[in-house]
Structure 1
Amino acid sequence: MLGFGAFALSGCARLRAGNVPVVQEGFVVQPEPVAQDNMTGFLAEGDTIYISGSINADTVAGFEAVRSSNPDANKLVFLEADGPVGSDAAFGFARAVRAAEFSTHLRNDSTISGGAVDAFLGGTQRTMEEGATIGALRGADAEAHAGFVTEMTGGDAYARFAGKFGGRRRPRPMTIAEIGAMGIVSANTGEVIIAN
């Protein structure tokens, strides 16, 4: 396997006075234990940062730690990721990805849902390979979600789709036609769908 540039984990935040996570040596350090299934993992290789796990309040700190250790990185590849749809954590992470001018990508074996879809929308260019799975979930605040999706994609089609057809507890897999029509990605070139 190729050498990996950096690795970071960020956990679920329980922010109280005196209980603030900090970044140390590429890790987001929590003063209290965090459930493993509530963590975000980052792995850097060359110009790519791979992400998996759950988007949470510490994800931005983990991303920034890995990004600062890998200044040549400009692409974020989602492997298997989820998180609360329409959450401040997902919105904040998507905005951090956009501010860093990263593109986002889904491999043919990638699976994302909920807040990870929101985070994926932060990419300056959003691409996916045939076989990737995007699962739509309904959010609690449809208006806030629509505003965010409009900010990221120029329209609220995905937010309206998720609000009407997204699963309540389980993600509803989207078809390739739905993905293109909802502005998650916008044009088809061969086996890869590429946004403008």
Structure 2
Amino acid sequence: MKRRAFIISMAVVGVAGCSKLRKSPSVPVVREGFIVKPAPVAQNNMTSFLPEGDTIYLSGSINEDTATGFAAVREANPKATRLVLLEADGPAGSAGAMAFGRAVREAGFSTHLRNDSVISGAAVDAFVGGTQRTMEEGAVIAVSRSEDADAHKAFATDMTGGEGYARFAQQFGRRKRPRPMTIAEIGAMGIVSANVGNVLATN
């Protein structure tokens, strides 16, 4: 049953990081509108996209293939203009995370966190890529240290206008257990848009 659920999710959700699946010598065949592979193996380090109207919902782990997956989902959903991050993570300041954050910005997408969203590490890099960044009360943003502090600071400056977010993550973040930020810290580090007027959004 779990295997069938995973296969069906491949049809509904655009998945980045498919290279992480076990390679099969046989050619995938199309059945009932989706690709069936002989023995798919779910991985923890995959990004899932679920498009719905003008919104693309993201969950999972940001990886080196996420930007490519995002481009494919955008192409299939040209009316989408907003990225909502649900529960997402990944290594902060990684090449894949920063490439995805820049892709979000270049696409002109706004980013949003629901009241049940929990993001950390690379997902925060993705969130700050939004042209307008909003969050609802209850959302959790947790920072972790980057392996390349200088590159992460340059990225943060491009996305938020200052390196405060990356500097804060490097100083107070942890590698294994990301550190949740307070509302005051989120606002002070420029993680949400300065022109929103309030850190918390109603929708």
Moved over 2 A (4+): 32-35, 186-191
Residue 165 (structure 2) pairs with residue 153 (structure 1):
no
Q: Could you say what secondary structure the match of 2:152 adopts?
A: helix
Deviations 1:101-157, CA, capped at 9 Å, x for gaps = 000000000000001101111100000001000011011111111011001010000
- For 1:55, which of 59, 62, 66 is the aligned residue? 62
Alpha-carbon contact 1:12-1:34 (below 8 Å) kept: no
Which amino acid is the alignment partner of residue 192 of structure 1? A
Alpha-carbon contact 2:91-2:121 (below 8 Å) kept: yes
TM-score calculated relative to the size of structure 2: 0.80
Partner of 2:180: 173
Which amino acid is the alignment partner of residue 201 of structure 2? V
Partner of 1:9: 15
* Closer, same or farther: CA 190–85 of 1 in aligned 2, 3 Å: closer
- For 1:107, which of 94, 106, 114 is the aligned residue? 114
* Closer, same or farther: CA 120–193 of 1 in aligned 2, 3 Å: farther
Alpha-carbon contact 2:45-2:61 (below 8 Å) kept: yes
Q: Distance in 2 between matches of 1:132 and 1:47?
A: 21
Q: Distance in 2 between matches of 1:55 and 1:124?
A: 19
C-alpha RMSD of matched pairs (Å): 2.7
TM-score calculated relative to the size of structure 1: 0.83
1:61 is displaced (CA, Å) by 1.5
Q: Distance in 2 between matches of 1:106 and 1:114?
A: 15
Partner of 1:19: none
Alpha-carbon contact 2:134-2:199 (below 8 Å) kept: no
1:7 is displaced (CA, Å) by 2.4
Q: Could you say what secondary structure the match of 2:158 adopts?
A: helix
Residue 120 (structure 2) pairs with residue 98 (structure 1):
no
- For 1:64, which of 71, 75, 80 is the aligned residue? 71
1:165 is displaced (CA, Å) by 0.5
Q: Distance in 1 between matches of 2:179 and 2:140?
A: 10
Q: Distance in 2 between matches of 1:116 and 1:106?
A: 11
Q: Could you say what secondary structure the match of 1:161 adopts?
A: helix
1:65 is displaced (CA, Å) by 1.2
Unaligned runs of 5+ in 1: 1-5, 15-23
- For 1:42, which of 36, 49, 64 is the aligned residue? 49
* Closer, same or farther: CA 138–190 of 1 in aligned 2, 3 Å: closer
Which amino acid is the alignment partner of residue 52 of structure 1? S
Partner of 1:118: 125
Structure with the higher helix share, 1 or 2: 2
Structure with the higher strand share, 1 or 2: 1
Residue 93 (structure 2) pairs with residue 86 (structure 1):
yes
